[in-house]
């Protein structure tokens, strides 16, 4: 099968302010259950995209660093081959897809996921009756016992492709925007087709500042990070 597009993202750490707009936009778009206090205490909160904060130094020479973290949609995803029921697979557009109605909740994929971006539904998601009005009808609500993860807002990709086809034209850079990228006030997140040499994301993926997190595993992540620029950096890394 010919691979037409390869969706990917660039994350400019120099622009990310840690404002969390992407986190809430994602939760709204993708019907993510309300993360209660207990969920955090049990380390079972669900955030398809999250902002990790790293410390560098201690007062007065101290820096805090922010890294948006989401499913890396790896070309050789280690979570895919371990699924016994093909609930997660790689589609021909570079997406690491999760098929909820196949998932039987073995959690092998989460075990094999080095980025901790797969989430298990330990509880049946519950919203008060009125809040259910807000749920996005394009996105399945995941029931207890199955895995979920960032889908690159696949529902938006499908909708855009369908609308663009109806208009009788090709998808161009900027047509498809996942919820997190759309909200990002500083434009730190850029989404697009890595196979399209003219796309913004493809340009950023070749930047002098680009690197991929846990690149040494050889999984070929589709998310390119751009290094934070800091002439006054204490070290060239930050600790967790």
Partner 1 sequence: MGVTRRQLLRFSGMGMLGAVIFAGCRIPDREFIAESPVLIPEDLVEGQDAYFATLARPSTGVESVLVRVMQGRAKKIEGNPDYPMSQGKHTAQAEASLQELYHPDRIATPLRRVGERGSGEFESISWEAAMGELQAKLSEFSGNPGSVAMITEPLRGALGTVASRFASNYGATQMAFEAVDQTVVRAALKNLFNQDRLPIADVKNAHYVLSFGSDFLSNWHAPLHYNWQYGEFRGTENGKRGTLVQIEPRFSMTAANADTWVHINPGTEGVLALAIADVILKEQTGNPAGMEALRDVIEANAQDLPTAEDVTGVSQAKIVKMARDFAEHQPGVAIGGGLAAAQTNGLFNMTAVYLLNALVDNIGKKGGLLFNPEAPLKDVESSAAASSLVDFQRLADRMRTSQVNVVLVHGADPVYGLPGALQFRRAMKDNVPFIASFSNFMDESTAMADLVLPDLVPMEGWGDDVSDPGPGYESIALQQPVVMPFVDVRSFGDVLLATAEGLGGDMTRGLPWNTMKDAIRSNAEELFKLNRGSIQQYPSFEEFWIGVLQRGGWWDTKATSKDSTKAKVDTIPGQATPTFSGAAAEYPFHLLPFMSHSMGDGREANLPWLQATPDPITTAVWSTWVELNPQSAKELDVREGDILEVTSPKGTIEAQVYVNPATPPNVVSIPMGQGHTFFGRYAEGIGSNVMSILDAVSDADTGALAWGATRVKLTLTGRRSRVPKFEGMVVPRQLHERPVYQISKGTDHA
Site for partner 1 in 28-57 (CB under 8 A): 28-29, 34-38, 40-41, 43, 45, 47, 50-55, 57
Strands 223-226, 7-12: pairing kind? parallel
Nearest C-alpha neighbor of 143 from the set 199, 103, 115, 187: 103
Single out the residue of 177, 3, 30, 208 nearest to residue 90, CA to CA: 3
Nearest approach, Cβ of 165 to partner 1 (angstroms)? 14
Stretch that binds partner 1, among 24-32, 70-78, 166-174, 191-199 (CB under 8 A): 24-32
Rule CB under 8 A: is residue 84 a binding residue for partner 1? no
Question: Binding of partner 1 at residue 123 (CB under 8 A)?
Answer: no
Q: Which of residues 177-196 bind partner 1 (CB under 8 A)?
A: 179, 182-188
- Residue 155, classed as helix, strand or coil, is helix
Tokens at 66, concatenated = 């922010």
Shortest distance, position 195 Cβ to partner 1, whole Å: 18
Q: Which helix (H) or strand (E) holds 210?
A: strand 210-211
Alpha-carbon radius of gyration of the chain: 18
Answer yes or no whether residue 167 interacts with partner 1 by CB under 8 A.
no
| Contact criterion met (CB below 8 Å) for 141 and 114 | no
State the CB neighbour count (10 A cutoff) for residue 91: 13
Q: Report in angstroms how near the CB of residue 202 gets to partner 1 at its nearest.
A: 14
Smallest separation (angstroms) from partner 1 to the CB of 184:
7
Specify whether the CB–CB gap between 128 and 117 falls below 8 A.
no
Q: Is 17 helix (H, G, I), strand (E, B) or coil?
A: coil
Asked whether position 66 contacts partner 1 by CB under 8 A, the answer is yes
Member of 72, 88, 96, 98 binding partner 1 (CB under 8 A): 98
- Distances 216 to 78, 82, 106, 196, 211 between C-alpha atoms, Å: 13, 20, 27, 25, 11
Residue from 167, 170, 197, 237 that binds partner 1 (CB under 8 A)?
237
> Is the Cβ of residue 77 or residue 188 nearer to partner 1 in the bound state?
188
Among 81, 86, 124, 172, binds partner 1 (CB under 8 A): 86
Q: Which residue in the set 75, 78, 82, 89 belongs to the binding site for partner 1 (CB under 8 A)? A: 89
Query: Pick from 21, 82, 141, 164: which binds partner 1 (CB under 8 A)?
Result: 21
Choose which of 7, 11, 27, 149 interacts with partner 1 (CB under 8 A): 27
């Amino acid at each position: 099968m010919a691979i037409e597009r390869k969706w990917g993202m660039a994350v400019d750490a120099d622009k990310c302010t840690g404002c969390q707009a992407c986190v809430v936009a994602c939760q709204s778009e993708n019907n993510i259950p309300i993360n209660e206090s207990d969920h955090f205490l049990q380390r079972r909160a669900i955030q398809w995209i999250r902002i990790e904060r790293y410390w560098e130094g201690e007062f007065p020479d101290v820096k805090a660093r922010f890294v948006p973290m989401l499913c890396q949609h790896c070309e050789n995803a280690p979570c895919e081959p371990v699924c016994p029921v093909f609930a997660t697979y790689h589609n021909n557009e570079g997406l690491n897809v999760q098929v909820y109605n196949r998932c039987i909740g073995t959690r092998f994929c989460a075990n094999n996921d080095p980025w901790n971006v797969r989430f298990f539904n330990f509880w049946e998601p519950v919203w008060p009756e009125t809040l259910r009005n807000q749920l996005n009808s394009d996105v399945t609500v995941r029931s207890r016992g199955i895995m979920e993860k960032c889908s690159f807002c696949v529902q938006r990709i499908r909708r855009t492709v369908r609308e663009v086809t109806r208009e009788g034209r090709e998808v161009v850079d900027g047509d498809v925007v996942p919820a997190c990228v759309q909200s990002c006030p500083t434009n730190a997140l850029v989404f697009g087709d890595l196979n399209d040499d003219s796309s913004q994301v493809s340009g950023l993926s070749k930047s002098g500042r680009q690197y991929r997190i846990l690149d040494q595993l050889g999984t070929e992540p589709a998310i390119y990070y751009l290094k934070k620029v800091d002439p006054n950096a204490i070290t060239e890394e930050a600790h967790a």
